[in-house]
Amino acid sequence: MRKSIATVSLSGSLAEKLAAAAAAGFDGVEIFENDLLASPMSPEEVRLRAADLGLAMEIYQPFRDFEAVPADVLARNLRRAEHKFRVMERLGANQLLVCSSVSEDTVSDDALAAEQLHQLADRASAYGIRVAYEALAWGRHVNTYDHSWRIVEQADHPALGVCLDSFHILSRGSDPSGIQEIPGEKIFFLQLADAPLMAMDVLQWSRHYRCFPGQGGLDVAGLARRAVGAGYDGPLSLEIFNDVFRQSDAHRTAVDAMRSLITLEEAVGLARPPAPVVPAGFAFAELATPETDRLSGLLGSLGFARTGRHTGKPVELWEQGHARILLNTGGRTRREGPALAAVGLETPAPADSVKRAESLLAPVLPRRRADNDAPLDAVAAPDGTELFFCRTGHPDHPSWTADFAPAAAPPEPAASAGITRIDHLALTQPWHHFDEASLFYRSVLGLQPDESLELADPYGLIRSRAVTAPDGAVRIALNVAPGPGEHDLPWQHVTLATGDIVATARRLRDLGAPLLPIPGNYYDDLEARYDLGPQTHRTLRSLGILYDRDEHGEFFHLYTVTVGRVFFEIVQRTGGYRGYGAQNAFIRMAAQHAHR
C-alpha cells in the first residue's frame, strides 16, 4: 500500500519535511495546515516541490469545528471552507480532513451534523475534493469512530467518508472490530499512530506522546488489519504528534517512521520483507579503549585470559568459558575512556541477517577488513554501536576467530572464575533515540521489547527497556536518562553469567577484582523482604551479592567498579528468572556514585 506521513510528525520547515519524507521512501504526505501557513513557499511551489520529490498530496488537514452548529455559524464555516478548497486546489490536494468539533457552538444532533456535512461535501465536490470526517477522542459530542461513521452514513454523500485514526480509537479503548462493518470505499483515510500506555488526559497524551507503530503499547497493526479487511485501499499514513520528534533530525525520524511502517505491513501481511533471523547468542562484546592496561587488569581479575591477538588490527581477544571480550585500541575512543563499541551476535545465517537489516533500512557498515580476514558484516544500531553478524567456529562458515593469532604468552593457568558466557549487555541510548532503538532491535533483529521501567538514580531518573530473544540467549537492556545532565554519557555494562555466584564471588576476591561495595542497609532490608535463611543472608552480605526474584526464579548479581564508561556485572539466574534485578538498580547506582 502507499505509505504516507503527516508533516506534523517531522521537524523543520515544510521544505525540509518534504525532503526528509521523500528521502526515506514515502509515497505521499498529509499537509498539516500550520506547516503551509508558516512556509515561504506558495501552494503552487509546494505542489511542484512535492511532485519533484515524487510525493503525492494525500490530504490537507485539519479543518476544525465545522458541524452541528446554528445557521449563522454554519454560514461562517462554509465560507471558511471555501477558502480552504481554493488553497487545496492550488496545492493539488483533493482530500480535506475534518475533525469532529470541540467547539461550544456544536450541539448533540446527529441529523444536523449529517445534514451540514452533506452540504460541506457538496461544496467540496465542486472542486473535486473529498471530505474525510475524523472523530477526535476528545470531540465534544462525536468522539468515537462508530459515531462518526453513523453520521457519515446518514449524510450519504459520495464525497464524504470517514478518517480512522488508530490513536483516537485505541486510546479510548474502543473495540476496533466494528471497522469491518464500514464499507471499505467509505474509509477515506487511515492514520496510524501508537502511544505508550499511560493514564492521562487523552488530549495531552495525543499531542505529546504519540509514537510510531511498534514503539508504544497500542495494537495498531490489528487495527490496520481490520481497515484493510474492510476494503480500505488508501495510504497507510503516520500522524505523530511527539515532543521529541519535533526537535529531532527530520531525516532520521523519517527513516525510523519508514521502518515502523515496513514492520507494520509485515505484521498485517501486506508485505514480506526477508524474515528476521533472531540472534542465538553473543559472539563477543568489543570495548574501544585508548589503552589496554586498565581493562586487561580488570579482565584478568575476573578470571579472563588473553587468548588471541588480531593479525591485522590492534585488537586483543579475552576469553572465559563462552564469554569473549575484544579490547580494541585502534578505533576512535572518547575522552571518557573505555566504552562498549561493538557487539558480535551469533546468527545461523549471517547473510540473511544482513538482508533483513537492509530491508529495514538499518545502515549496513562497510567491511573494514584485510583481504585475508573472515568476511564479517555489521550494521550500526541507532546509538552507533556496531552489530556484527557472526557464525563462530562453525565448519561451514568462516569464523571471525580465525583472524586472531593465539596469544604469545599462554594464559595464566586455571585462572577461571567460573564465568560461562555473556548474559546481557546494557547500552545507553541518547534520550531522543530511545523509541527508535527499541523498534530497531525489534524489527531488525526480531527481539521482543519488555515493558519500559523507570529506575531512580541519586542524581536522575533512568528509563530502561530490555529487548530479548524468545529463548533468552540474547538480552540487551536499553537505558536512557530522560534529560540532559550528568547522564549524557552514562555507563554501559557487560553482564557475565556464572552457574555458581558464590564460588565466583569468592574466586574474584582471591583474584583481587575491584568489586562494588554494597551498603549494609541493603542487606538489613533484604532480610526483612525475604527469608533466605541466616547462612545465605550472611553469604550475600559478606560477598556484596544482590538478590531478586520473580515468579519464575531467582537472580543473584554483583558488580565491578566502573572503568571509563564501562563496568561488569556477574549474575546467576535460577529457575528461568526473566528480569535484570531492576529493583536493585538504585542501590547499584548509588554505590557507583559513592565509589567515585
Ligand X SMILES: O=C(O)c1ccc(O)c(O)c1
- Interface with Mg ion by CB under 5 A: which residues? 165, 191, 239
Determine the Cα–Cα distance for residues 493 and 426; give it in Å rounded to an integer: 5
Pick what 277 binds: ligand X, Mg ion, none; C-beta below 5 to 8 Å, kind-dependent: none
Give the residue with the Cβ less far from Mg ion, 61 or 560.
61
Grid coordinates belonging to 504: 565466583
Grid coordinates belonging to 167: 490513536
Grid coordinates belonging to 537: 543472608
Nearest in space to 254 (alpha carbons), one of 273, 238, 270, 233: 238
Known binding residue 168? Answer is no
Taking the complex as a whole, how short is the minimal distance between the CB of residue 492 and ligand X, in angstroms? 38
Pick what 99 binds: ligand X, Mg ion, none; C-beta below 5 to 8 Å, kind-dependent: ligand X
Taking the complex as a whole, how short is the minimal distance between the CB of residue 92 and ligand X, in angstroms? 20
Known binding residue 433? Answer is no
In contact, 417 and 302? CB cutoff 8 Å:
yes
Residue of this chain nearest to ligand X (CB atom)? 62
Known binding residue 551? Answer is no
Grid coordinates belonging to 594: 559513592
Pick what 80 binds: ligand X, Mg ion, none; C-beta below 5 to 8 Å, kind-dependent: none
Q: If you write DSSP's letter for every residue of 221-283 in order, what string do you get?
A: HHHHHHHHHTT--S-EEE---BTTGGGS-HHHHHHHHHHHHHHHHHHHTS--PPPP----EEE
Determine the Cα–Cα distance for residues 579 and 560; give it in Å rounded to an integer: 20
Give the residue with the Cβ less far from Mg ion, 239 or 286.
239
Nearest in space to 47 (alpha carbons), one of 4, 90, 2: 90
Query: How many helices and strands, by DSSP H and E, does the chain display?
Result: 17, 25
In contact, 73 and 119? CB cutoff 8 Å:
no
Determine the Cα–Cα distance for residues 214 and 196; give it in Å rounded to an integer: 10
Taking the complex as a whole, how short is the minimal distance between the CB of residue 191 and ligand X, in angstroms? 6
Known binding residue 593? Answer is no
Give the residue with the Cβ less far from ligand X, 206 or 429.
206
The DSSP element (H or E) to which 524 belongs, if any, is: helix 520-529
Taking the complex as a whole, how short is the minimal distance between the CB of residue 217 and ligand X, in angstroms? 18
Known binding residue 424? Answer is yes
Pairing of strands 160-165, 130-134: parallel
The sheet with strand 554-559 has its strands ordered as 448-457, 460-468, 475-480, 419-428, 492-498, 566-574, 554-559, 546-549
Give the residue with the Cβ less far from ligand X, 35 or 239.
239
Taking the complex as a whole, how short is the minimal distance between the CB of residue 573 and ligand X, in angstroms? 44
Interface with ligand X by CB under 6 A: which residues? 61-62, 97, 99, 134, 136, 165, 191, 206-207, 239
Nearest in space to 565 (alpha carbons), one of 347, 405, 321, 383: 383
Adjacent-strand bridge partners of 61 = 32
* Residues near 54 by beta carbon (within 8 Å), at least 6 away in sequence: 22, 27
Taking the complex as a whole, how short is the minimal distance between the CB of residue 125 and ligand X, in angstroms? 22
Taking the complex as a whole, how short is the minimal distance between the CB of residue 567 and ligand X, in angstroms? 44
Pairing of strands 460-468, 448-457: antiparallel
Taking the complex as a whole, how short is the minimal distance between the CB of residue 183 and Mg ion, in angstroms? 21
Give the residue with the Cβ less far from Mg ion, 9 or 479.
9
Nearest in space to 327 (alpha carbons), one of 283, 300, 287: 287
Give the residue with the Cβ less far from ligand X, 20 or 190.
190
Pick what 207 binds: ligand X, Mg ion, none; C-beta below 5 to 8 Å, kind-dependent: ligand X
Residue of this chain nearest to Mg ion (CB atom)? 165
Pairing of strands 305-310, 315-320: antiparallel
In contact, 259 and 440? CB cutoff 8 Å:
yes
CA 267 to chain centre: 16
Our CA dihedral for 524, 527, 532, 537, rounded to 10 degrees, sits at 10
Known binding residue 239? Answer is yes
Amino acid at 576: G
Known binding residue 45? Answer is no
Taking the complex as a whole, how short is the minimal distance between the CB of residue 112 and ligand X, in angstroms? 22
Taking the complex as a whole, how short is the minimal distance between the CB of residue 90 and Mg ion, in angstroms? 24
Give the residue with the Cβ less far from Mg ion, 9 or 347.
9
Pick what 61 binds: Mg ion, ligand X, none; C-beta below 5 to 8 Å, kind-dependent: ligand X
Pick what 22 binds: Mg ion, ligand X, none; C-beta below 5 to 8 Å, kind-dependent: none
Which residues belong to the annotated binding site for a divalent metal cation?
A: 134, 165, 191, 239
- What residue numbers does the annotated binding site for Mg(2+) cover? 424, 493, 569
Residue set of the binding site: 134, 165, 191, 239, 424, 493, 569
